[in-house]
Structure formats: structure tokens, C-alpha cells
Amino acid sequence: EAEATSLKRIHPEGLFELKIPPRPELKPYRLKISYKNGNEHIRFDPYYFSTQLTEYDQFLFAEGNHHRFYHKLGAHPVEIDGVPGTLFAVWAPNAKRVSIVGDFNYWDGRKHPMQILGDSGIWELFIPEVAAGMLYKYEIKTGQNEILLKSDPVAFTAEQRPSTASVVTELNGFRWQDQKWLEERENRDPLRQPINVYEVHLGSWQRVPEEDNRSLTYPELADRLIPYAVEMGYTHLELMPVAEHPLDGSWGYQVTGYFAPTSRFGTPHEFMEFVDRCHTSGLGVILDWVPGHFPKDSHGLAGFDGTALYEHEDPLQGEHKEWGTLIFNYERNEVRNFLISNALFWFDEYHIDGIRVDAVAAMLYLDYNRKEGQWVKNRHGGRENIGAIEFLKQLHETLFHYHPGILSIAEESTAWDGVSHPTYAGGLGFNLKWNMGWMNDTLRYIEKDPVHRKYDHHLITFSLMYAFTENFVLALSHDEVVHGKRSMLGKMPGDDWQNFAGLRMYLAFQMAHPGKQLTFMGTEFGQRDEWSENRSLDWHLTQFPDHQKLQEYVRTLNHFYLSKPTLFTNDFDWTGFQWIDHHDQDNSVLSFIRRSADEVSDPDLVFIFNFTPVPRD
């Protein structure tokens, strides 16, 4: 039995003292704590254990170059000196005190105050016998003596909404089966590969009406969504944000848990299984990623230590009034480090194949959606957000260094030059960009009565004036089927027959046009209603002949695309395209040739489109 030594009370409020030998002679010891009510607790003393973050870790983080700092910050089940427990670390440089609170200490901030590491602003504590699955938060005493309860910015799991605690999580242990996929990805040029993306909102692709209309889980989605996408001939799934978010109505674009796949649909290992099964089935996985802004929820990043830590202090720089969200302070090394490490985390730990960065224009321009007097000029007197520009360049240099062959896709709605060009050529470093101009112009054209299309012929041809200035994705995304814009089928003019004929024509034109492909779920079978995050797609429509035929048509079109390298090996160069006739506006007829990068092996393809319901010779 272990030797017991009594501590000397040196203050009536409960301060005790014991002189212990120097650390080389000291072994982990337990404290036996007796309370007035007769209860006794025996536990290891967390303050016996030395700090684990090195001075080099702290230096790299402060410099903004600790690329995998998620290995150090957050909550990590580990064993130290033979004692199992969890190592906690959090960045809160302006806090007076930070404590860990949770089920294991009755949410009492007096029990586990953390130790600050020099002037790094990082607080750390190892708590023995705290295990995976336990709930926790950080209790932060601010400089104004206010007490805040914050979720862990680097938590790997969060409680299901509306609860907001973080969950101690062991990420290790999943047995991946996708090594062949990853090796092939690393050695190929994705821009010369077929990319036909099926954009999905996991919570509404299908639901279970018999069980209170709940969403599918990650395992159920793996069983249903993956085989469907493969059968339909898609190459990638693009998932609207899966990082934890409190509000369903944000569609995932207001993130509070950047390192946690949402617990709405299951566990981290179940999401790993979903990605793994995508890869072993031949599907890539792209995640929507939101480094442009974050919500003001009290448990999140906003005012994290009582100060503007992740955001700018000046609301003219730190707030999107229209969205009610805060803007990251890209000038701060630690904030850039947080975001870059987060992006790398999804590639490292979840084996994803790409990110689609939301609202890039809002990051690039200081006056985005702002009137005169509502924004602050940069140090050169301009409107460009220099910090965001440098962040995006650093992000891409880091990502492509560690993971060649991946995709980084920009949703960028302006004419910013070089969005999808490499940083060494002066670009932002993305390798693909959504073609918002093509989408807007062609939708305006296709929504017109065919009789009147000849007066706006330029709308269907203008995209070829700039089609090769960037590496474009032709995206028909979720944004085009909400807020009164109607479904893709509903945009088509005329009666029901004309609606289906128009959509078939438009999807074929999208496929033939230079650029990678993306369509939102439901488009492939003719969803009639606008999309809503609160309900399933109307899968019952596929029982009706017109919808069934459209679905079969899209499947055939997708597989035709996969079988024709001419359609994807030369998307971003004029040598891959030649007009035959783009002047026949009176008949609304277009014709052109697509050419492969390998003209010897892959034949040219000729396309002729008649955008009226009138037969032409």
C-alpha cells in the first residue's frame, strides 16, 4: 500500500502545504481529499505533470508556422509517466485565468485552473483519468473579471445542438483502406482528370419520414449516397459544410467547431468511414470550408478571451453587418495558423480530396457590401485586404506542399486576376474557380422564352471571351435554387414538356462547354420545388416517367463525359476549343469543336445546340 503523508493547513479557507522531493525522485502521486460532508475523493495531482508543449511549439505558433498545431492544442487523450488522462491546451493570451470544467469536476472552475506557458498566450494542463467521451469547456476569466464559458476551438467533437460542450475525442485508431487512392491522387494532375461534382447537403439529401423526418447518419449516407453517385457517373461529392455549426438554417456556413465534423450525423470515425468508402468506390470528397467569417455565438470564437482575439477589434474591419458574422483577423499570425492548420487537418485526418472556399470576394475586398465610410482602407490606401491575400497564398503553398494532387476551389464572384493561378506566378494559389459569370449569363439566357433568345445571343457566347483566363468550374450550385430563384427545372420557360427539354439542353451545353462540372443534388431528376434544408429532396418524383427519363439522361450524359477525354483533358487552353458558328443568333444555334490534349488518341467532338423548339437543317 502506498505511503500516505498529511498536508499542513496554512490557511483556514483551505490552503494546504507539503514539501516534496525534487522531480527526479518524485513519482506521480494521488491526493486524498476529505470534505465536511464526509465524502472523499482520491485522484492524481494534475500539477505534478510537467508541461508538454515545447518552447519550439510556442515559437512556431506565434510565428504562424505550426502547420499541425492541432496535435498540440485542444484535448488529447494521452498517457504521461504511466498515468492515463487528457492533455488540454488553449490559446487565450488576454485571460486572467483559464480553467477546464466538465462532468469530471462538476463544472467547477476552481478545481482545474490551467498553467500559462510564458508569453505565448497558451494555457495547458494534463488532467489524469479524464477519458474520451467526457464533456468539457473552458472557463475564462477576462481582464474585466467577466467569466466566460467557451467551447474548445480545436475540439474534435461537439455536443449535438442545442448543447454546446466539447467532447474529449480519440481520433486515432481508424483503419483506412484508401492507400491506393491517395497514392494515385498524389501522382496525377487533377486538372487533366474528369471532374463532375455532385453537390450535396447531407441533412436533406434523403430523410427518414417514419422517424420524425430525421436526417440520415454518416453510415446510412455511405450505404445510399455513395452507390447512387457512382451509378450516376459523378466523380466527386462536394459536401456543404460538415464542420460543427449550431444553426441548421446557416447550411453549415456559420461554423463554431472548425475541427469537428458535425455530430448531427454521427461520430468522427463514422465520417472517416464515409470518406474511406467514397475512395474505395472511386469517388473524391470535397468539403466546403469557411475561413471568411464566423458567428457571434457566445460559446464560440467571438471575444474568446474577453478581447477581439480571432476577429478585428474595429467593427469596420471585423464584422459583416449583412450576415451578422465576424471576420477573421488575417494579419495576426496565430489566426492564420489556426485556419491553415484547420484546412490541413481535414486532409491529414479525414483524407479529403479538396476544399471549396466560400465567399472569397468577401475576404479579398475591404469594402465588400459596404458603403463609403463603412470600411477602412489598407496601408496603401486601397480596398484590397492585404492580410487575406497573404493568408490565401500561404494556405495554398502549405496545402500543396503536403498534399499534391488535391483541389482548392474558389467561389469568387469578381474579376480578381489570377485566382486559380499558382502563387509563384502571382496568383492566389487556388487551382479551380467557380465561373459565376457563365452561370449568371447562361441562366439569364435559358430562362428567356425561346422566341426572344435571339435578342440576347451574347449571353450564351460571351463566356468564351474569358473561358481560359482561369481554371473554371461550371457550377450550378445550391445558391441557384433558393430564395425565390426556383428549381433548375422551374427556371425553364414553357409547359412541362418544354421545361424538361430545356433542362436537358442546358445540362448538355454545360457538359460540352470547357470547364469542370458541378450540379446540385436534385437537378439530375428534375426537383420541382426549391431546395430547403428542412426536408428531403422529392425522390418520389423519380416514379414518374418524365423525371425518370431525365435521371436516365443525366446518368448517360455523365458516363459519356467520363468516356471522352476530349471533354476533360484540355479544359483550360484555347487549343481545346474552336468555334464553328457562334453568329447564328436569328436561329439561336451554336456549334463548336472540343479537342483533347492528345489529338492522336482522342478524336475531336463536334457539338451543335439549337436553343429553340424549331427543327433546323
Q: Cβ contacts of residue 6 below 8 Å, gap of 6+?
A: none
* Helix (H) / strand (E) containing 579: strand 577-581
Q: What's the sign of the alpha-carbon dihedral 354, 409, 404, 510? A: positive
C-beta neighbour count of 170 within 10 angstroms: 18
What's the rounded Cα separation, in Å, for the pair 165 and 524?
39
Residue among 165, 269, 159 at smallest CA distance from 217: 269
Q: How many residues does the chain have?
A: 617
What's the rounded Cα separation, in Å, for the pair 326 and 604?
50
What's the rounded Cα separation, in Å, for the pair 259 and 346?
8
Residue among 425, 434, 497 at smallest CA distance from 471: 434
Q: Where does 268-389 show beta strands of DSSP type E?
A: 284-289, 319-320, 325-326, 354-357
Specify which residues 122 forms β-bridges with. 91
Residue among 236, 393, 265 at smallest CA distance from 330: 393
φ and ψ of 3, to 5 deg: -70, 135
- The C-alpha angle 536, 542, 544, rounded to 5 degrees, equals 130
**C-alpha cell recorded at residue 213:** 423526418
**Catalytic one of 334, 411, 441, 524:** 411
Q: Is 593 in contact with 580 (CB distance < 8 Å)? A: yes
> 318-355 in b/e burial notation, b at 16+ Cβ within 10 A?
bbbeebebbbbbbebebbbbbbbbbbbbbbbbbbbbbb
- The number of helices, as runs of H, and strands, as runs of E, in the chain is 13, 29
Query: Does the active-site annotation cover 238?
Result: no
167 three-class SS? strand
Query: Does the active-site annotation cover 411?
Result: yes
Place of cell 420524425: 212
**Catalytic one of 170, 288, 353, 358:** 358
Specify which residues 126 forms β-bridges with. 87
294 three-class SS? strand
Question: Which ranges of 157-217 does DSSP label H, i.e. alpha helix?
Answer: 179-186
What's the rounded Cα separation, in Å, for the pair 451 and 108?
72
**C-alpha cell recorded at residue 464:** 468564351
409 three-class SS? strand
Q: What's the sign of the alpha-carbon dihedral 366, 367, 370, 374? A: positive
**C-alpha cell recorded at residue 570:** 484540355
Indicate which residues carry an active-site annotation: 358, 411
